[in-house]
A and B are shown apart, each in its own frame.
Chain A
Amino acid sequence: MKYYRSHVLVCVDPECLQKGAHELVDALQDELVATGLIDEVQVLETSRIGGCSLGPEMMVYPEGVHYVGVTPDDVPYLVEEHFLKGRLVNKFQMPTTKVVDEELGAPTQKEVRIVLRNCGKIDPENIEDYIAEDGYQALAKVLTEMTPEEVIDTVLRSGLRGRGGAGFPTGKKWQFTRQAPGEIKYVVCNADEGDPGAFMNRRVLEGDPHSVIEGMIIAAYAIGAHQGYIYCRAEYPVAVSTLNIAIQQARNLGLLGKDILGSGFDFDLEVRMGAGAFVCGEETALIASIEGRRGEPRPRPPFPAVQGLWNKPTNVNNVETYANIPQIILKGAEWYAGYGTEKSKGTKTFALAGDLNHTGLIEVPLGITLREIIYDVGGGIKDGKAFKAVQIGGPMGGCVPAEYLDLPLDYESLAQAGTIMGSGGMIVLDEDTCMVDVARYFMDFTQDESCGKCTPCRVGTRRILEILTRICDGKGQDGDIELLENLCQEIRTNSLCGLGQGAPNPVVSTLRYFRDEYEAHIYEKRCPAKVCRSLIRYEILPDACTGCTVCARNCPVNAISGERRQTHVIDPDTCIRCGICMQVCNFNAVVIE
């Protein structure tokens, strides 16, 4: 490769193009030829650097100088100063107060897209589009060049771990399933994404279904299976229809069915729809549901790798796990292991939700800090408020407070902080959030979704919910915190499946980091975040009230009294704390006490 002492990256995003980026590139090229520097300095085109509003913009390396507003006429001067004499040209430098265009949002260079590489880029209903992006090349490589053992070895070396949440090494799981005795084996894809606020898998299924299908065929080849099932929740109708179209197209091309690519390997795939039960995301309940039985978990061991679907060895992986496989095969285990931390390799998708400026889906290398995710990728907390906690891992996860913001994210560090990786839901909470209320919300969810097979989960989650509701209603009693702790411990150790074992996590983690809020609710009958209705009181500030009567006219229970042009008063006994008076007041006279 040719060596250049300097690289000039010129932004050719639409906005810069309009401002003459191409003309700038041409002028730079011409000037570098004229000055004889063309063999030393390379001009490249790139996407947005961050100053398009002042464009055209360019970045000069190795110095890392960011120039903006350079016209072709300025080029001779710039080249002479910067590249010949080696002096920075101050007048073109990007102003130090960073101009971040509100509309466009912050650039998110911290993202690395492996699973999501094709999402939003290809037409998911056209298999040719996927093939054009190197689709099914990994399958071809596996079927023509590799033995099943080599495939498993590659996946093992890549360090890929189950992306459904528990983080079991994928290669190991494949190995166990391959080694399990039996002629008939199955591969199953868990696409029963049920965590509130999580939609990573949906995006992959809707945007790039073939990557999951290809990953599953490769897994089937590695473990020796000839039939696979994708268990997708019925609440994802678009994903189900995209998947069915994709499967049909793959069949038509002979990528599914008998004698795939002339290798003699047979494999076919079917979509099975769930019926809306959250617990069916648990692998043994999922298997029961595919078999046509009630979706209830059973004790493990035996693990599905030994005794799964119809009691045959079955490999169950998450959507995201399978979607990683083709890239690992194509680019190599070492490439994949180059991302991430020592024990957690690769990237992970997260669904960012909550009080953030930029919510949505992201894919970042593991080992990134929460601060980078929340402030750099997510654009920080809405309305300039303070960060309070982030709820990671869905209803089985926990809340992590500000002191863990610089924690490098991986399976182990999250466990240490009292939560789980989970499937990747990330709900950011600002200072106006009541942590007891958050715990109550998640407990309401798990209590509702408990399948009822085992007592600790069925009865225990209900008892916890009752206590939390009591505390939020201002009827908390001395000893409630200890009772909660005891209950959590019992449910965690005695429940049958991951749902019950993880259900106490939101309570345990909020008790660990925000115990003072529980105490304020119980002993002082006060909600510090001013959220719990029974513990707050709306009041009208006499100095700010103009007596306009808007609040009194809008109050649904007639709790507000007062003459026109006189200060109004709220009767706390009648008030139902709906907050309408606060919303309609034009003078900010209504406050929460």
Chain B
Amino acid sequence: MPTIKSLDDLKRIREEALEKRKVKTASGQVQVIVGMGTCGIAAGARDAMKAILETIQNENLEGVIVTQTGCIGLCEKEPIVQVVVGDQPKVTYGKVSPEVARQIMQEHVKNGNVVKEYMIQV
């Protein structure tokens, strides 16, 4: 990536980043965001992440982007996983064990049904 040498460069990168985001949502792609702050990792976010990646591989799911983020403030509900399908609002899940993660991938990401019992309000 070229260096930013002026205000215009910065603006361009910002526009590009926003554009990339829009493409992600408009094309109906699924984003799975795992909270990987210290609290999340301590509560087992790595195992949840592993389960998510495994499910994607085993089920040959396409168009799923797995990213990570920091702590959202609900440390007692960690591990937290957020799922964004296309331009629909973000759904946040708490206490996501590997089993729950697999369930979310199956029911929400694959079949489009929110797994209500693990949903939390943020």
Question: Which A residues have a C-beta under 8 Å from some C-beta of B?
Answer: 12-15, 17-18, 47-48, 101, 103-105, 107, 116, 119-126, 128-129, 131-132, 134-137, 140, 144, 199, 202-203, 206-208, 236, 238-239, 242, 252-255, 261-262, 358-362
User: Which of B36, B75, B121 touches A359 (beta carbons < 8 Å)?
Assistant: B75
Stretch of B51-59, B62-70, B98-106 contacting A (4+ beta carbons < 8 Å): B62-70
Q: How does the 8 Å CB contact mask read for B26-43 relative to A, with 1 for contact and 0 for none?
A: 000000010111110100
A253→B1 contact, CB < 8 A:
yes
In B1-54, which residues have CB < 8 Å from any A CB? 1, 3-7, 9-10, 13-14, 16-18, 20-21, 33, 35-39, 41
- Option from B7, B71, B122 in Cβ contact (under 8 Å) with A144: B7
Q: Can you spell out 30 A-B residue pairs with CB atoms less than 8 angstroms apart? A: A13-B89, A14-B89, A15-B114, A17-B88, A17-B89, A103-B119, A105-B120, A105-B121, A119-B69, A119-B70, A119-B73, A120-B69, A120-B71, A120-B80, A121-B69, A122-B69, A123-B33, A124-B69, A124-B70, A125-B68, A134-B14, A137-B10, A202-B71, A238-B36, A252-B3, A253-B1, A254-B3, A261-B5, A261-B9, A360-B76
Write the nearest CB–CB distance from A143 to chain B, whole angstroms. 9
Which of A17, A18, A116, A129 has a CB less than 8 Å from the CB of B17?
A129
Q: Are B38 and A362 in contact (CB under 8 A)?
A: no
Given contacts A14-B89, A129-B17, A206-B37, 7 further A-B contacts (CB under 8 A): A14-B88, A121-B69, A124-B70, A128-B17, A203-B71, A206-B38, A238-B41
A359 to B73, CA, bound (A): 9
Name B residues whose Cβ lies closer than 8 Å to a Cβ of A. 1, 3-7, 9-10, 13-14, 16-18, 20-21, 33, 35-39, 41, 67-77, 80, 88-89, 91, 114, 116, 119-122
When the two chains form their complex, are residues A136 and B10 in contact, meaning their CB atoms are under 8 A apart? yes
Given contacts A254-B4, A261-B10, whether A120 and B72 have CB atoms under 8 Å apart is yes
Contact B120 A207 (CB under 8 A): no
- CB-CB under 8 A from B3, the residues of chain A are 252-254
Number of A-B residue pairs having CB atoms within 8 Å of each other in the complex: 131
By beta carbon, the residue of chain B nearest A260 is: B4
Residue of A nearest to B75 (CB): A360
- Compute how far the CA of A125 lies from the CA of B69 in the bound complex, rounded to whole angstroms: 8
Question: Cβ of A362: which chain B residues have Cβ within 8 Å of it?
Answer: 73
**How far does the alpha carbon of A57 sit from the alpha carbon of B58 in the complex, in Å?**
39
CA of A51 to CA of B116 in the docked complex: distance in angstroms? 15
Chain A residues near B9: list those with CB within 8 A.
261
Q: How near does chain B come to A366, taking the closest CB pair, in angstroms? A: 18
The answer for the CA separation of A535 and B3 in the assembled complex, in Å, is 68
Let me know if A207 and B17 touch, CB within 8 A. no
Please name all residues of chain A whose beta carbon is closer than 8 Å to the beta carbon of B72 when the two chains form the complex: 119-121, 207
What's the nearest-Cβ distance from chain B to residue A381, in Å? 15
From A103, A123, A135, A261, contact of B120 by CB (8 A): A103
Q: Which chain A positions have C-beta within 8 A of B36?
A: 238
